[in-house]
Copies of this chain bind each other. A is one copy, B any other.
Amino acid sequence: MKNETLKLENQICFKIYTAEREITKLYRELLKELNVTYPQYLVLLLLWEKHSLTVKELGQRLFLDSGTLTPMLKRMEMNGLVERKRSEQDERSVIVSVTEKGNALKEKAECIPNQLVDNIPMGKEELSTLNETLTSMLEQLQNQTK
């Protein structure tokens, strides 16, 4: 038992670590045409819904801090996908909003979820079980590491 626990094959954490990179790799292919990365795509998903959000709000939803978001949003701004401007109500906040160009990507992105499903064929039941497990796992983790 003791020796087994230090074995890689037995570790779910390693599989999640690996799965994350494989999923990112898959998205990289699918997103190549849009010229955005997976994290950038996540930002766009939110902005397509809400049009504009502060850096803080983006961070809360994506669980990323300004150290990650600021340079990423600058890159997106440079590519013309978003605009950044200080809030007038609170000069500490920066409001990020999606541009015309950023919005135009939405249509191109419509097919991505479908392509994803094609690449990860799983039963509906298995999918929801996985979803539930990950959800509760995340809750636990986010309580621990907060």
Contact = CB atoms under 8 A, between A and B. Distances in A.
Chain A interface bracket (under 10, 10 to 19, 20 to 34, 35 or more): 35 or more
Interface of A is mostly: helix
Interface string A84-116: 000000000000000000000010011001101
A19 B142 CA distance: 9
15 contacts: A6-B117, A12-B130, A15-B138, A16-B134, A17-B42, A18-B63, A19-B134, A19-B141, A22-B145, A26-B144, A120-B140, A120-B141, A121-B140, A130-B130, A133-B133
Nearest to A46: B8
B137 A9 contact: no
A49 interface: yes
Given A9-B113, A9-B116, A24 B17 contact: yes
Interface of A: 2, 5-27, 29, 38, 42, 45-46, 48-49, 61, 63, 106, 109-110, 113-114, 116-117, 119-122, 124, 126-131, 133-138, 140-142, 144-145
A15 B131 contact: yes
B23 A17 contact: yes
B16 A23 contact: yes
B5 A113 contact: yes
Given A6-B117, A7-B113, A121-B140, 15 more contacts: A6-B45, A6-B114, A8-B45, A8-B127, A10-B116, A12-B130, A13-B23, A14-B42, A16-B134, A18-B63, A19-B138, A21-B63, A22-B138, A120-B141, A130-B133
